[in-house]
Structure 1
Amino acid sequence: MEAHNPNRIHRINFRLTEAEHQKILASWQKSSDHKLSDYGRKLLLGKPVTFFIRDRSLDLFTAEMARLRKELKALGNNFNQIVRRINGLKELPRYEFWLQDAKRKQEILLEITKDIQQQINKNASIWYQRSSQEKASEEP
Protein backbone atom coordinates (compact mmCIF):
# COMPACT_ATOMS: atom_id res chain seq x y z
CA MET A 1 0.00 0.00 0.00
CA GLU A 2 1.17 3.51 -0.80
CA ALA A 3 2.12 5.85 2.02
CA HIS A 4 -0.25 8.79 2.47
CA ASN A 5 1.03 12.25 1.71
CA PRO A 6 0.76 14.07 5.07
CA ASN A 7 0.12 17.38 3.30
CA ARG A 8 -3.05 16.10 1.66
CA ILE A 9 -5.39 15.50 4.54
CA HIS A 10 -8.62 16.96 3.12
CA ARG A 11 -11.06 15.01 0.98
CA ILE A 12 -13.73 16.25 -1.36
CA ASN A 13 -16.55 13.85 -2.19
CA PHE A 14 -19.24 14.50 -4.75
CA ARG A 15 -21.77 12.42 -6.63
CA LEU A 16 -21.92 11.80 -10.38
CA THR A 17 -24.38 10.21 -12.73
CA GLU A 18 -23.21 7.09 -14.52
CA ALA A 19 -22.79 9.08 -17.75
CA GLU A 20 -20.70 11.74 -16.00
CA HIS A 21 -18.58 9.09 -14.33
CA GLN A 22 -17.95 7.28 -17.63
CA LYS A 23 -17.08 10.57 -19.34
CA ILE A 24 -14.52 11.44 -16.65
CA LEU A 25 -13.01 7.93 -16.74
CA ALA A 26 -12.76 8.01 -20.54
CA SER A 27 -11.06 11.41 -20.42
CA TRP A 28 -8.68 10.27 -17.66
CA GLN A 29 -7.66 7.17 -19.64
CA LYS A 30 -6.60 9.42 -22.52
CA SER A 31 -4.45 11.50 -20.18
CA SER A 32 -0.88 10.87 -19.10
CA ASP A 33 -1.91 10.65 -15.41
CA HIS A 34 -1.71 7.21 -13.87
CA LYS A 35 -4.01 8.03 -10.96
CA LEU A 36 -7.53 9.38 -11.18
CA SER A 37 -6.88 11.55 -8.12
CA ASP A 38 -3.91 13.25 -9.83
CA TYR A 39 -6.03 13.85 -12.93
CA GLY A 40 -8.95 15.23 -10.90
CA ARG A 41 -6.69 17.46 -8.83
CA LYS A 42 -5.21 19.01 -11.98
CA LEU A 43 -8.68 19.65 -13.41
CA LEU A 44 -10.03 21.19 -10.21
CA LEU A 45 -6.95 23.39 -9.70
CA GLY A 46 -6.87 24.50 -13.33
CA LYS A 47 -3.47 22.96 -14.01
CA PRO A 48 -2.61 21.71 -17.49
CA VAL A 49 -3.42 18.08 -18.28
CA THR A 50 -1.43 16.19 -20.89
CA PHE A 51 -3.48 13.98 -23.20
CA PHE A 52 -2.32 11.21 -25.49
CA ILE A 53 -3.65 11.48 -29.01
CA ARG A 54 -4.26 8.04 -30.47
CA ASP A 55 -4.16 7.57 -34.20
CA ARG A 56 -6.18 4.50 -35.18
CA SER A 57 -4.37 4.20 -38.50
CA LEU A 58 -1.04 4.15 -36.65
CA ASP A 59 -2.31 1.39 -34.35
CA LEU A 60 -3.42 -0.70 -37.33
CA PHE A 61 -0.16 -0.01 -39.13
CA THR A 62 1.88 -1.05 -36.09
CA ALA A 63 -0.07 -4.30 -35.69
CA GLU A 64 0.32 -5.13 -39.38
CA MET A 65 4.04 -4.33 -39.33
CA ALA A 66 4.51 -6.56 -36.27
CA ARG A 67 2.79 -9.42 -38.12
CA LEU A 68 4.84 -8.87 -41.26
CA ARG A 69 8.04 -8.55 -39.24
CA LYS A 70 7.43 -11.92 -37.57
CA GLU A 71 6.68 -13.53 -40.92
CA LEU A 72 9.70 -11.91 -42.56
CA LYS A 73 11.99 -13.03 -39.74
CA ALA A 74 10.82 -16.66 -40.06
CA LEU A 75 11.32 -16.59 -43.82
CA GLY A 76 14.73 -14.99 -43.43
CA ASN A 77 15.78 -17.76 -41.03
CA ASN A 78 14.58 -20.41 -43.50
CA PHE A 79 16.40 -18.69 -46.33
CA ASN A 80 19.65 -18.57 -44.32
CA GLN A 81 19.38 -22.29 -43.56
CA ILE A 82 18.90 -23.05 -47.25
CA VAL A 83 21.91 -20.96 -48.25
CA ARG A 84 24.07 -22.74 -45.64
CA ARG A 85 22.94 -26.09 -47.01
CA ILE A 86 23.70 -25.06 -50.58
CA ASN A 87 27.18 -23.92 -49.58
CA GLY A 88 27.86 -27.28 -47.89
CA LEU A 89 26.66 -29.47 -50.78
CA LYS A 90 28.93 -31.15 -53.27
CA GLU A 91 26.40 -33.33 -55.11
CA LEU A 92 24.81 -31.68 -58.13
CA PRO A 93 21.24 -33.13 -57.81
CA ARG A 94 20.91 -32.04 -54.18
CA TYR A 95 22.45 -28.69 -55.02
CA GLU A 96 19.80 -28.08 -57.70
CA PHE A 97 16.97 -29.05 -55.31
CA TRP A 98 18.12 -26.61 -52.64
CA LEU A 99 18.78 -23.92 -55.21
CA GLN A 100 15.17 -24.21 -56.45
CA ASP A 101 13.92 -24.10 -52.87
CA ALA A 102 15.99 -20.98 -52.26
CA LYS A 103 14.44 -19.35 -55.33
CA ARG A 104 10.92 -20.10 -54.01
CA LYS A 105 11.77 -18.62 -50.61
CA GLN A 106 13.28 -15.58 -52.30
CA GLU A 107 10.04 -15.00 -54.23
CA ILE A 108 8.05 -15.18 -50.98
CA LEU A 109 10.45 -12.73 -49.32
CA LEU A 110 10.07 -10.32 -52.22
CA GLU A 111 6.27 -10.62 -52.04
CA ILE A 112 6.23 -9.83 -48.31
CA THR A 113 8.63 -6.95 -48.85
CA LYS A 114 6.21 -5.62 -51.48
CA ASP A 115 3.34 -5.92 -48.95
CA ILE A 116 5.36 -3.96 -46.40
CA GLN A 117 6.07 -1.25 -48.96
CA GLN A 118 2.39 -1.02 -49.88
CA GLN A 119 1.40 -0.69 -46.20
CA ILE A 120 3.98 2.04 -45.68
CA ASN A 121 2.81 3.92 -48.77
CA LYS A 122 -0.87 3.58 -47.79
CA ASN A 123 -0.30 4.90 -44.27
CA ALA A 124 2.09 7.61 -45.38
CA SER A 125 -0.61 8.86 -47.73
CA ILE A 126 -3.21 8.92 -44.91
CA TRP A 127 -0.84 10.70 -42.53
CA TYR A 128 0.18 13.20 -45.20
CA GLN A 129 -3.46 14.03 -45.95
CA ARG A 130 -4.20 14.54 -42.24
CA SER A 131 -1.11 16.69 -41.82
CA SER A 132 -2.11 18.83 -44.81
CA GLN A 133 -5.67 19.20 -43.45
CA GLU A 134 -4.40 20.19 -40.01
CA LYS A 135 -2.06 22.80 -41.50
CA ALA A 136 -4.86 24.18 -43.66
CA SER A 137 -7.19 24.48 -40.68
CA GLU A 138 -4.51 26.34 -38.68
CA GLU A 139 -4.00 29.01 -41.33
CA PRO A 140 -6.06 32.22 -40.89
Structure 2
Amino acid sequence: MEKKTNKWISIRTKPGDYDAIYNRFQQTTCRNLSQYARQVLLNKPVVLKYRNQSADEILSALIGIKNEISAIGNNYNQEVKRLHTLKDSPEMLTWILSNELRHKQLLDFIRDIFFKLEKIHESCMQK
Protein backbone atom coordinates (compact mmCIF):
# COMPACT_ATOMS: atom_id res chain seq x y z
CA MET A 1 0.00 0.00 0.00
CA GLU A 2 1.32 3.42 -0.98
CA LYS A 3 1.90 5.92 1.82
CA LYS A 4 -0.19 9.06 1.76
CA THR A 5 1.76 12.13 0.65
CA ASN A 6 2.05 14.77 3.32
CA LYS A 7 5.02 16.97 2.37
CA TRP A 8 4.36 20.14 0.42
CA ILE A 9 6.46 21.81 -2.27
CA SER A 10 5.18 25.20 -3.39
CA ILE A 11 6.54 27.08 -6.36
CA ARG A 12 5.72 30.45 -7.81
CA THR A 13 5.35 30.92 -11.55
CA LYS A 14 4.49 33.67 -13.95
CA PRO A 15 0.95 33.43 -15.33
CA GLY A 16 2.28 32.49 -18.77
CA ASP A 17 4.50 29.76 -17.32
CA TYR A 18 1.60 28.36 -15.30
CA ASP A 19 -0.59 28.28 -18.42
CA ALA A 20 2.13 26.40 -20.33
CA ILE A 21 2.56 23.89 -17.48
CA TYR A 22 -1.20 23.43 -17.15
CA ASN A 23 -1.61 22.92 -20.91
CA ARG A 24 1.09 20.23 -20.86
CA PHE A 25 -0.62 18.59 -17.88
CA GLN A 26 -3.92 18.50 -19.75
CA GLN A 27 -2.27 16.56 -22.58
CA THR A 28 -1.36 13.72 -20.19
CA THR A 29 -3.25 10.92 -18.51
CA CYS A 30 -2.38 12.28 -15.04
CA ARG A 31 -5.44 12.73 -12.83
CA ASN A 32 -4.31 16.04 -11.33
CA LEU A 33 -1.58 18.66 -11.57
CA SER A 34 0.19 17.35 -8.44
CA GLN A 35 0.57 13.90 -9.96
CA TYR A 36 1.94 15.43 -13.16
CA ALA A 37 4.42 17.60 -11.22
CA ARG A 38 5.66 14.57 -9.23
CA GLN A 39 6.17 12.57 -12.43
CA VAL A 40 8.14 15.39 -14.07
CA LEU A 41 10.23 16.28 -10.99
CA LEU A 42 11.17 12.64 -10.36
CA ASN A 43 12.05 12.10 -14.05
CA LYS A 44 9.39 9.41 -14.37
CA PRO A 45 7.69 8.85 -17.72
CA VAL A 46 4.55 10.86 -18.41
CA VAL A 47 1.96 9.21 -20.64
CA LEU A 48 0.47 11.60 -23.19
CA LYS A 49 -3.05 11.38 -24.55
CA TYR A 50 -3.18 10.50 -28.23
CA ARG A 51 -5.95 11.74 -30.50
CA ASN A 52 -6.66 9.94 -33.73
CA GLN A 53 -8.39 12.42 -36.07
CA SER A 54 -9.75 9.80 -38.46
CA ALA A 55 -11.11 7.71 -35.58
CA ASP A 56 -12.80 10.83 -34.17
CA GLU A 57 -14.43 11.49 -37.56
CA ILE A 58 -15.60 7.89 -37.83
CA LEU A 59 -16.99 7.97 -34.31
CA SER A 60 -18.79 11.24 -35.00
CA ALA A 61 -20.37 9.82 -38.18
CA LEU A 62 -21.42 6.62 -36.41
CA ILE A 63 -22.98 8.55 -33.52
CA GLY A 64 -25.00 10.58 -36.03
CA ILE A 65 -26.13 7.38 -37.75
CA LYS A 66 -27.08 5.82 -34.40
CA ASN A 67 -29.17 8.85 -33.46
CA GLU A 68 -30.96 8.85 -36.81
CA ILE A 69 -31.70 5.12 -36.58
CA SER A 70 -33.02 5.60 -33.03
CA ALA A 71 -35.35 8.38 -34.19
CA ILE A 72 -36.58 6.24 -37.08
CA GLY A 73 -37.20 3.34 -34.70
CA ASN A 74 -39.22 5.54 -32.35
CA ASN A 75 -41.32 6.87 -35.23
CA TYR A 76 -41.85 3.34 -36.57
CA ASN A 77 -43.04 2.10 -33.17
CA GLN A 78 -45.54 4.96 -32.96
CA GLU A 79 -46.83 4.22 -36.45
CA VAL A 80 -47.27 0.52 -35.69
CA LYS A 81 -49.21 1.36 -32.52
CA ARG A 82 -51.40 3.67 -34.61
CA LEU A 83 -51.93 0.89 -37.19
CA HIS A 84 -53.13 -1.51 -34.48
CA THR A 85 -55.80 1.00 -33.45
CA LEU A 86 -57.07 1.19 -37.07
CA LYS A 87 -57.90 -2.51 -37.53
CA ASP A 88 -60.82 -2.96 -39.92
CA SER A 89 -61.22 0.80 -40.22
CA PRO A 90 -61.53 2.81 -43.43
CA GLU A 91 -58.73 5.00 -42.09
CA MET A 92 -56.33 2.09 -42.60
CA LEU A 93 -56.08 2.75 -46.36
CA THR A 94 -55.35 6.43 -45.69
CA TRP A 95 -52.68 5.43 -43.17
CA ILE A 96 -51.04 3.06 -45.67
CA LEU A 97 -50.97 5.75 -48.38
CA SER A 98 -49.55 8.38 -46.02
CA ASN A 99 -46.85 5.99 -44.83
CA GLU A 100 -45.65 5.42 -48.38
CA LEU A 101 -43.73 8.72 -48.13
CA ARG A 102 -42.16 7.67 -44.82
CA HIS A 103 -41.18 4.35 -46.38
CA LYS A 104 -39.41 6.18 -49.21
CA GLN A 105 -37.64 8.42 -46.68
CA LEU A 106 -36.47 5.35 -44.77
CA LEU A 107 -35.05 3.77 -47.93
CA ASP A 108 -33.28 7.04 -48.79
CA PHE A 109 -31.80 7.18 -45.31
CA ILE A 110 -30.56 3.59 -45.55
CA ARG A 111 -28.96 4.48 -48.89
CA ASP A 112 -27.25 7.47 -47.20
CA ILE A 113 -25.96 5.21 -44.41
CA PHE A 114 -24.55 2.82 -46.99
CA PHE A 115 -22.86 5.71 -48.82
CA LYS A 116 -21.32 7.10 -45.60
CA LEU A 117 -20.06 3.67 -44.58
CA GLU A 118 -18.49 3.24 -48.02
CA LYS A 119 -16.68 6.59 -47.64
CA ILE A 120 -15.45 5.58 -44.18
CA HIS A 121 -14.22 2.26 -45.57
CA GLU A 122 -12.39 3.99 -48.42
CA SER A 123 -10.73 6.50 -46.09
CA CYS A 124 -9.57 3.69 -43.77
CA MET A 125 -8.18 1.67 -46.67
CA GLN A 126 -6.09 4.65 -47.91
CA LYS A 127 -4.20 4.96 -44.61
1:116 aligns to what? Answer: 113
CA contact (8 A) 1:57 1:123 kept: no
The 5 A counterparts of 1:1-140 are 5=4, 7-11=5-9, 13=11, 15-16=13-14, 18=16, 20-87=17-84, 88-91=86-89, 93-130=90-127
Structure 1 unaligned spans of 5+: 131-140
Structure 2 vs 1, CA of residues 12 and 80 (structure 1 numbering), >3 Å: closer, same or farther?
Answer: closer
Percent of aligned positions with the same letter in both sequences?
25
Instruction: Supply the distance in 1 between the matched residues of 2:80 and 2:26 (Cα, whole angstroms).
Output: 50
Per the normalisation by structure 2, the TM-score is 0.71
Q: Identify unmatched segments of 5+ residues in structure 2.
A: none
SS state at 2:45 partner: coil
The one-character-per-residue Cα deviations of 1:86-125 (angstroms, maximum 9, x if unpaired) are 344213x422222223332222222223333333333343
Q: CA RMSD in A?
A: 2.7
In 2, Cα distance between equivalents of 1:127 and 1:25 = 34
Is 1:72–1:109's contact at 8 Å kept on the other side of the alignment? no
Q: Distance in 2 between matches of 1:123 and 1:71?
A: 17
Size of the alignment, in residue pairs? 123
Higher relative contact order (CA 8 A, sep 6+): 1
TM-score, normalised via structure 1 length: 0.66
Tell me if the contact between 1:75 and 1:105 (Cα under 8 Å) persists in the aligned partners. Answer: no
